[in-house]
Chains A and B, each alone.
Chain A
Amino acid sequence: SQTIHQWPATLVQPVGSPLSLECTVEGTSNPNLYWYRQAAGRGLQLLFYSVGIGQISSEVPQNLSASRPQDRQFILSSKKLLLSDSGFYLCAWSDTGTGVYEQYFGPGTRLTVT
C-alpha cells in the first residue's frame, strides 16, 4: 500500500532563517505531488505541484520554492523566512497511472516563524 511521509512534524524558525520541508511517498511510481498551505483559519491553498522529476509549477508568487530531485521526493524551501510563512504545510500525492486523480495527504508540518 502507499504511504506518504512529511518531516519535521513541527518547526519553529526565526525570521530570515532558511527552510527545508521534505515529503516522500512510498508504494507508487511517477505520482503527481503537491504542496498546500493552510494558514490560520481553514482554507487550503495550493502552492506547488509537480507531474515529474524536475517539473515544478507554482500557483502563487511567494517567498517559497519547491524541488523534486527524485520521483517520490518533494521538497519545499525558502532562503529567508517571513512571518507570513507561518502555517500548516501539507504534501499530497495522486496516482497518474489509473486515470483516477484522487489525492492523499501527508500528516503535515506545522511551521511557526518568530
Chain B
Amino acid sequence: DIVLTQIPLFLSVTPGQPASISCRSSQSLLHSDGKTYLYWYLQKPGQSPQLLIYEVSNRFSGVPDRFSGSGSGTHFTLKISRVEAEDVGVYYCMQSIQLLTFGGGTKVEIK
C-alpha cells in the first residue's frame, strides 16, 4: 500500500501569516496518463472533509485562492498564503493512483 506522510502533525499560525504542509508518498503518484493523483482535504471541527485541491494544484469549486498546491512525484505541498480563522481544522492529503489512502493529517490552529 502507498503510505502518505504529512509534516508537520500540528501547526499554530498567526492570522494573516502563511502556512505550509508537506505530504510525502512512498511511491510516485504520477500515472502513465500524465496526471498525478494527489488531493488535499480540510476537515473543519465537527464537519466532514471537504475537497480543496485535486491533481496536485487545481483548486476545487469555491476554494479561496489563498490555497495552493504544488509538487510532483512523491513530494507535495499545500500552502495557505494568509491564514484566516475559518481555515482551522485538520488537513489531509490523499492519493488515488493505487486504491485510496490518506495521510495522517495536519492539525492547524490559530494563535
A and B pair up: no
Residues of B at the A interface (CB closer than 8 Å) are: none
